[in-house]
Amino acid sequence: MCNLYSITTNQEAIRALFRVINRYVGNLPPMPGVFPDYPAPVVRNAGAERELTMMRWGMPPPPKLGGPPVTNIRNTSSPHWRGLLKPENRCLVPFNSFAEYAPEPNPETKKKDVVWFALNDDRPLTAFAGIWTEFKGDRGTKSKPVPGPHLVYGFLTTSPNAVVEPIHPKATPVILLTGWGAFMKQDGDLPAQVDGVLSKPPRARELRETLARLAPKSKSKTLAE
């Protein structure tokens, strides 16, 4: 489960790559560490266009299960998520790299290393495939709650490729190298679209070859450095 990523590209580059029509009003500094419940930039549909806005990372969990906000969504057949898969709730989550904990502790530190992944060593901008909604409850901490409503998001996950699997065998975020418009706008069944846009040849092959581990000096890995 990915619970840490970075977005260090400026908003002009985000607007240009994802064809965002608005300029986000406010400061958008580099974010080398985005954790659950942090506000971060998200691209969503705005009528026939796209807009950039800030949302908190973590969707409301299924009411019957409860628990903390959900950052990674895998079971898109669940009734709880199915209603949020339509185009008006889809979003692009810009990022430069993401992290997973190593499966075993480092013999030297006795702690699990944080392993980073990116498309290459330059950590170019790309996006997770996500969904968003409005949450009317409180966010923040118990001692310092932030009253709602809040715009919140999470990203979809899929089976890991050969680069990520040794570190995190259960799942990896769905990464959109291309096909942003198709993901955001096409009607129909979202899992089928994700398969069509991301998981079938040649794009699956492209993704496997692109994602690589990051430099050992940072004790991290990349998707395609």
Query: What is the C-alpha to C-alpha distance for residues 127 and 180, in angstroms, rounded to an integer?
Result: 9
Confidence (pLDDT) at 194: 56
For residue 59, give the DSSP letter: B
Peptide bond into 149 cis (omega under 30): yes
Strand partners, 95: 126
Interior/surface letters 147-167, b for 16+ CB within 10 angstroms, e for the rest: eeebbbbbbbbbebbebbeeb
Confidence (pLDDT) at 202: 34
At 196 the three-state DSSP class reads helix
pTM of the model: 0.85
Query: What is the C-alpha to C-alpha distance for residues 76 and 157, in angstroms, rounded to an integer?
Result: 9
Give the sheet arrangement for strand 212-213, strand by strand: 31-34, 5-7, 97-105, 112-118, 212-213
Amino acid, single-letter form, for residue 68: P
DSSP 125-171: -EEEEEEEEEE-S-EE-SSSEE-S-EEEEEEEEE---TTTTTT--S-
At 50 the three-state DSSP class reads strand
For the chain, helix, strand, coil in percent to 5 are 20, 35, 45
CA dihedral of 161, 167, 171, 175, whole degrees rounded to 10: -50
At 220 the three-state DSSP class reads coil
Confidence (pLDDT) at 193: 53
Amino acid, single-letter form, for residue 211: L
Nearest to 115 by CA among 187, 205, 218: 218
3-state secondary structure string, 79-108? Answer: HHHHCCCCHHHEEEEEECEEEEEEEEECCC
pLDDT in tens, the chain (225 residues): 789 999 999 989 999 999 998 766 677 899 999 999 999 999 999 988 899 999 999 999 988 887 899 999 988 888 899 889 888 999 999 999 999 998 999 899 899 999 999 988 889 999 999 999 999 989 988 899 999 899 999 999 888 888 888 888 888 898 888 888 888 887 665 555 554 444 433 344 444 445 555 644 444 444 433
